[in-house]
Amino acid sequence: MTQPAIAENILGTENINKLIFKFATPTILSMLTVSLYNLVDQIFIGHAVGYLGNAAINVAFPIHSIVMGFALWIGDGTATYIAMNLGAGRREEAGKAVSQSVILLAIISVMTVAFGYIFMEPILYLSGCTAVMLPYATEYTKYILLGMPFLIFACGMNPSIRADGNPRYAMLAMMAGCLLNFILEPIFIFGLNMGLAGSAIGTVISQLFSAILVLAYFPKLKTFKFERKNIRLHGKLPMAVMKLGLSSLTLNCCQIVNVLIINNLLVFYGAMSTLGAEAVFAAMGAAQKVAFISTNVTSGIGIGSQPIIAFNRGALNFDRVRECYSAALKLAVAFTAVVLVLTRIFPTEIMLIFGDNNPGFMTFGIAVLEIWMLTIMLAAFQDVSTSFFQSIGRPFLAMTIPLARRILLILPMSYFFPKYWGVISILWAGPIADVVVFAIILALLRKSFREMRDGSFSKENL
């Protein structure tokens, strides 16, 4: 048997727990890299500039989310398409998809960077920026935009490396950039006394390094080929890829809309409170960076399970599909249980990491950790289930979860709660929404598993 055939077949034959460990562990670390880029910025800037520096980074965060949303739209869609076609024995089709993704990501890079520079100030104000924050936010954002093509390429092509059966390299490519960022940030911020500009430049260089490492892998693909002749758009293939990645894009779009509206609500009601608009805004962003670590771990578990689930869905091996989902879910819930305990015991110590003991900043940041994190185990259930629905070729089911939680539930509650109970009441919208969405997911899962049992899924639906 050839090496490519062996690489493909382990997804359908190897022990599920071993596969989850093989794919999820490096994927988690890769996902954490994205969080750490932002977390490191917050920590160093908090010590060098103060909470206004942290507020500036938080104002720029929606731009980062937009870019990540488009990159993962193509990246996750391509990886799912690859895995499903490998499971169905169509290796050439998988190769076309990965080659085509270069063009799609290049188009996205040009459009997002141009749009970002042209409309930078309006975007920052839309993100909740105040006149006090604007000089800090502009200084940071004008450099960060330079690195967006590198971030788009690295994050957009990385899922295809996992789909090739090499999650370890996918992890190392992203982690190498993160480690370089750890080294460069203090040098530029403190050693060269460059402040926010130094933080942004260090991040851009690190993103470039990760992109180079990702690019270096593609001549080494094992289970499908990356060919220059296929670096073009292939008929209906772009739509197939974008359809499969639609839940990733929807998730990020929902997050962006959610963040933009809540940012402005925080600034409005924060200004009416004794805490202050800038302090509330900065604290929410800093505490959420901690929450995003948990989210990226559970999302990484879900995404790490995608090649296994998608391959076995393509091979119509639904027992392994269910087994893989169950294993991923148990791992995600166990991790978030530990995080919940830590944030309940050490909220003050966690907020002090960001280097600012401003009373308003500390008060609101601790409230975020104590309230927002209450239902993180239910959030883990959502993350793994979203990846599951995407992996079995049901992207519209996957979209239901983020839409219900972020748009239909969190936003209305975030709008009405502070009218009666003040700015901190905004934080309760998340936990309440998690409980409601939990019930929705259970209904969707029952329907999908029932269809697997009665034969509604077929290879022709791929």
Place of tokens 């608009």: 277
Rounded to whole angstroms, how far apart are CA atoms 383 and 297?
A: 10
pLDDT at 460: 43
pLDDT at 4: 45
pLDDT at 300: 85
pLDDT at 229: 63
Residue 52 contacts residue 133 (beta carbons within 8 Å): yes
What is residue 396's three-state secondary structure?
Answer: helix
What is residue 254's three-state secondary structure?
Answer: helix
Tokens of 435: 């409980």
Tokens of 305: 């399970």
pLDDT at 317: 79
Rounded to whole angstroms, how far apart are CA atoms 57 and 143?
A: 12
Rounded to whole angstroms, how far apart are CA atoms 335 and 341?
A: 10
Average pLDDT of adjacent 10-residue blocks, the chain of 462 residues:
49 81 77 73 85 87 83 83 73 72 86 90 90 91 91 87 81 86 90 90 92 88 67 66 74 79 91 87 86 86 86 81 90 93 91 81 90 92 90 78 84 93 93 93 87 68 52
What is residue 130's three-state secondary structure?
Answer: coil
One DSSP character per residue, 9-73 reads HHHHHS-HHHHHHHHHHHHHHHHHHHHHHHHHHHHHHHHHT-HHHHHHHHHHHHHHHHHHHHHHH
pLDDT at 3: 41
Rounded to whole angstroms, how far apart are CA atoms 82 and 96?
A: 9
Residue 301 contacts residue 328 (beta carbons within 8 Å): yes
One DSSP character per residue, 191-252 reads IS--HHHHHHHHHHHHHHHHHHHHHHHGGG-SSS---GGG-S--TTHHHHHHHHTHHHHHHH
Task: Count the neighbouring beta carbons within 10 Å of the beta carbon of residue 344.
Answer: 12
| pTM for the predicted model, two decimal places | 0.75
pLDDT at 70: 86
Residue 227 contacts residue 94 (beta carbons within 8 Å): no
User: Please, what is the angle between helix 318-345 and helix 277-314, to 10°?
Assistant: 160
